Every structure is written in structure tokens, then in C-alpha cells.
Amino acid sequence: MEIWPGQPYPLGATFNGSGVNFALFSEVAEKVELCLIGDDGAETRIGLTEVDGHVWHAFVPTIQPGQRYGFRVHGPFDPPNGHRCNPAKLLLDPYAKAIDGQIDLDNSLFSYELTDPLKFNEEDSLGHTMLSVVINPFFDWGHDRPPRHEYHDSVIYEAHVKGLSMTHPDVPDNIRGTYAAIGHHAIVDHLVRLGVTAIELMPVHQFVQDTTLQDKGLTNYWGYNTIGFLAPHAAYAGTGTRGQQVNEFKSMVKALHAANIEVILDVVYNHTAEGNENGPTIAFRGIDNASYYRLVDDNKAHYYDTTGTGNSLLMRHPHVLQLIMDSLRYWVTEMHVDGFRFDLAATLARQFHEVDRLSAFFDIIQQDPVISQVKLIAEPWDLGDGGYQVGNFPPLWTEWNGKYRDTVRDFWRGEAASLGEFASRLTGSSDLYAHSARRPIASINFVVAHDGFTLRDIVSYNAKHNEANGEANRDGENHNRSWNCGVEGETENGEINALRRQQQRNFLTTLLLSQGVPMIAHGDEVGRTQQGNNNAYCQDNDLAWIDWELAKRESELLTYTSALVSLRKKHAVFRRRRFFAGDAAHGGKSDLGDIEWFSSDGTEMDELDWRNGYARTLMAFLNGQAIPEPDPHGQRTIDSDFLLLFNAHSAPVDFVLPPAAYGLEWRICLDTTVPEPFNGGQPGWFAASTHPITGRSIVVLQAVPATKV
């Protein structure tokens, strides 16, 4: 076979129409072999003799897309000093753009003898491991353009590729659970009807199945176990795994963009699927363990773990940073995605012990001309010391606001909590973000995400019910801030079910009318349940998938949610680009008058009202005439005035509307006691008039324009 020297860049396998350039970084390697795997499993080994800057490379003419390959790295096997090379292990390319197969956790996958972690294992892993695939990079994108929705106009929909599409009756059976299904008109039409601007997909980077779960009849459903940072997960492709998954993913993005919907990926750059020192050797461990992983300084046989998964990537190593940046740029430039949500993002910022806002990772993101221009969302915590970092990321970033989730859940379950904190969350959490010159869009507001109860389960269960996970209900969060409305689990009691639906509307209304960027979890708009399971990471079945029959039974909730999204889109007062003036602890009240807060008796909130730990009611006046930021054309932004009436008490409370200076007449836009929104609104609520507001409900009033005489 003819072998040319090739080039050290780009890393990975690059097809140019006539052959493939292969390049692999390893500082510790003494010898590297490229292994071409035939359709029959036969292996052809090619020694890479060219080395530039620790990059081993060669060009192989005539190689075509679909070719499977791997590497064997010869070097030191010295675990106490952090080296774990073993040429008996066929290794994935860290830059593989497609991956075929799965590991089976045969003994041959381990670089050491299972009876002795310091003893070299000579068993060959070929036939038991995953294989890298050469792809064809060419694709007809047509007129594809990124939607580029502004943050303040965004409504994010968190979804799982398989869970969203697996049971949809209008999606053909042969593509359910795939990228093609997400791009199918049935799913796209649902997203358009709902009004979301972006779909945030749970991990689609190639991940590894956990055989210990499979032995229990379970599976790694969520996918937070990445092994291929440039490869779309092959199991979500309906057309094949020899590169077809790449084109299928691109077609999905193209279809969503055509519907004006952005694609955001949930990415896991903080660790890999190889686990701790007892894990298998699949890729990085065997290529250059000490360069890719953060090891314990005084015991390099062990990994420094801030993720709870066994390892953490060494974020201060230039080639690790390069891999992450190359991966991010690839997904933007070649796969056309519109942003990223970074799992356990605090880990990415760790240089040594602390979470460093000025870490190298943030530096290179900030200056990158591609990545700095897409949506960047942090999950601002990890499991290490000082890992809860909500509000501490740099200005370019937005963050999942865990404090928003907790405060809103507490308010609607009737906890004695500060009204001031609820007001702060409702108005964009300026107490968390304003100090770093950020704006309300820094807050990704959510009540529900994949990790935890569904919206329906928040109002149906007091305790988790994770028995199906096979861990005797020990896994998952114990403190869920949920309330079952009087009965644990499903019930036929009509009053309780009505209250549960009302509570769901309360949560959705609060979420979608809060300043910041709202995120809805898939299926919450149709009342999806996991039967009290708050940790469905291993449930690749009906328990975690959306039951699309609910869309018929819960059509009122779907209609209500769509109306809420529409109301938000129509009115700038709900999606301001700047914080309200004034003290965040008091919800932003100031002399500017852009927002005013009232007690249920119609008087302005005073210090005692704010500090009343037992208060469950408040009224917010949103002044549509006092929006300081201009519209997209530089003109003054003028909107309607709104009154938001919140009653979290169990019993009705009489609300007195503010005096005439705030509006003479109001019409009802939304009432969470009513399953469907009021089309056009119902007028007849006048200044200083008194109205009973049902317990555990919200009423949204819109000012009726004064009639000119």
C-alpha cells in the first residue's frame, strides 16, 4: 500500500477526494500504528513514521469514506507515573467524525490484568471496541442560514432525540428515535406550534453504553458519557453508521433552520467515558493519559475527579484545549449548530482547586471568532469544592439558573420564603448577574430540566420513586421542592387533578412571563410523567419517552402553553434587554417607574411587606411606557401595561387593583384557573376595584387603552 508523509494538521482523518490524511497527537508515544479495518474485521497496520510537534501523521491515497480505522500506540505502561500505553488496545481517534459499533466490556478492553492493576494486559481489543470512520465532508446545505435569534427573543425547548420522537404516531416507524425524526415535519410542526425558537438536544456526541446497566436490563439513556467529541451518536441514525449519521444530522439541522428554529447541543467536555483508573482503554487513556486527564499530583495512578464520573479532562493542557475548540468550531462550521450548553461547566474553569473566571478555557472562547458568536450556556456547577458557581461566569456566557428553579418551586408549593427573592427571580435575577455587567438574558430560567421531576410529577409526587433504576431508590435528588396536591402519585380524584393542572399552568405562566430566557423541558407542554422517577438516566423506554397520546388528552395544556409563548413574543415588556432599575432585593422598584410592586390590598409594598415570611401574595405592575432600551430599529419601545396578580395561598384572597394613575381599566389575558386563554381579553376590571383571586393561581391583566374623546 502506498503511504505518503501527509500533514500534521488537521488532526483526525481528512478526506480530500483522492485519499485521507491521518494525524494523531501523542507526546508519550514511541511508535504509532494506523490500523485499517476491513468489512470482514481484518486489520491492516501502517506505521506512522512522520512526527511533527508530537503529531504522528501520514496520507493514504485511494482510501474512501466509510473506511473504518483505529490506532495502536506503543509507549510506556507505568501507571504510578501516569502512563498507560498498551498497543494491544485498538484506540479510537479523538478527532473521529463518525464512530461505528459499541464496546462490550470484554477483558481485552482493559490495559491491565483485572487481578493486578499494575500488570500489563496483552489481550487484543479488536472486535470488542468501537471503530473510527472516515467521512465524506461534502453536503448540500442549499440556502441554509442560522436563525440567529436574539437571546431576549428566545424560548428554548430541551429535548432528547429518542425521547421526543420515539412514540410520535405521525413519524414513520423506521425513523423514530433518530435525527431524521427530529427533522420530520411532524416534530417540526409541533415545535412551530409551540412557538419555541431553539431546540436544545441532550448529548448527541458519540457516547458509550454502560454494560453494568445493560446487565440489569437498563441502558445509558441520557448520554452524558462522551467518547467522541466530533462524532454524532451513531445509535440515533436511522440510515447507517459508516458516516451516514453525519449527513442525517446535517439534514435535521437544515430542516429545523428552515422552520426558523435554532439547534443547541448539550455537550460534555468535562470528562470522558473511560472512567477512573479501573476503566477501559478506549481512546485517550491509551494515546497519552497524562496529557489528556487531570491526575492526582502526588499519586498519578489516580484521577482527579470533580464530575463524579471517574475522571476530569486536563483543561490547562494545550492539546486538550485544542481538541475542545476544534470540536466546537467543527459543530458550528460543518454541522451548522447554533450554540452549546456545557454540562458541569464549572469543571471547565478549574485550573487547580478553585473555579477561575479567567481560566484559559474562557480566554480562548472569548477571543475565538466563531465560538464567541454562538449561544453559550453553562451548567454552572460541578461536584468539586466550591463547585456551585451560579452568577460567576464571564459576560459572554448565559447560565442555567438553579436558584430560579428552587425559588419558583418553593413559592408555588407554599413555602415560607422571601417575596423579595421571588420578585428578583421574576425580574431576571439582577442580584446574580448585574454585578458582572450582564443583563437578564444571562439567566436561563427553568422550573424543570431532564435531571429531576417532570412538570407533572412536581405537582404529583412528594418523594422520588426511582425503584425502576435498580438502586433501591437510593439514586436521584431527595429534596425536590415538589408538592403532590394531597395524594402521592396518580389519582382519579377530580379536584386534585384539577389543582395539579392549575399548578402546572402556574409554573408555566411564571416561567414564560419572567425576564430572562425561558427553557421548557420536552413533554411538559402535554403533561409528560415519569411516574415519580427523578433520575431517568437509564430508562430508555416508555417511562422516559414522551407519550404522544397525551397531546390529545392534554390538548388544553398544549394550547395554553402555546398562548403563553405567543403572549411573551408579542410584548417586549416580558422580554426586556436590561434589568429594571432599583434594588434587586425589592424586585427592581425605582423612581423610573418601569416596575411597581403592590400588596393584595392595592398599596405599594413597603419594607415590612417584603420581609413578611408568611406572605403568599403580590402584584406586579409592568410599565410598557417605561422601557428604556430601544427597539431593533433604534426607536423607542412602547408596549402595553400589565398587572400580574400572584396568589400562592390555598384560599381565595381579595385583590384591590392599583389606583387610576396606573390604569383606568384592565382586561384579563390569562387566568390559571381557566384551562384556555382568553382570546382578546375580557375587560371590566377597573382601578381600585376589588376582585377575589382563587387560591394558587395567577391572573394576568392588560391595560385597556384610554379612549380619546
Set of cell numbers at residue 487: 395524594
Phi, psi (degrees; rounded to nearest 5) at 346: -60, -30
Alpha-carbon distances, residue 279 vs 27, 227, 293, 382, 408 (angstroms): 22, 13, 13, 21, 40
Amino acid (one-letter) located at 214: Q
665 assigned to active site: no
Q: How far apart are CA 491 and CA 89, in angstroms?
A: 54
379 is catalytic: yes
Catalytic residue among 158, 288, 305, 379: 379
For the chain, how are helix, strand and coil distributed in percent, rounded to 5? 25, 20, 50
* Among the listed residues 492, 271, 487, 511, the one whose alpha carbon sits nearest the alpha carbon of residue 411: 511
List of long-range contacts for 465-474, beta carbons under 8 Å, 24+ apart: 465/489, 465/531, 465/532, 465/533, 466/532, 466/533, 466/534, 466/535, 468/533, 468/539, 468/543, 469/218, 469/533, 469/535, 469/537, 469/538, 469/539, 470/216, 470/218, 470/538
State how far the alpha carbon of 407 is from the alpha carbons of 10, 424, 447, in Å: 47, 10, 9
Amino acid at 173: D
Catalytic residue among 326, 343, 431, 639: 343
Other C-beta atoms closer than 10 Å to the C-beta of 417 total: 18
Rounded to a whole number of angstroms, the CA Rg of the chain reads 27
Say which residues have a Cβ less than 8 Å from residue 91's Cβ, sequence separation at least 6.
70, 71, 72, 73, 281, 282, 283, 286, 287
- Shortest CA distance to 193 belongs to which of 581, 561, 514, 584? 561
Distance CA 496, CA 490 (A): 10
Indicate the Cα dihedral angle 622, 626, 629, 631, nearest 10°. Answer: 90
Beta strands in 164-246 (DSSP E): 198-201, 205-207, 226-232
Taking the C-alpha atoms of 363, 369, 372 and 375 in order, what is their torsion angle to the nearest 10 degrees?
-150
Q: Is 451 exposed, middle or buried (0-12, 13-18, 19+ CB in 10 A)?
A: middle
User: 55 and 11 in contact (C-beta within 8 Å)?
Assistant: yes
d(CA 499, CA 494): 9
* CB contact at 8 A, 504 and 415: no
CA–CA separation, 106 vs 124, rounded Å? 10
So which residues are the catalytic ones? 343, 379
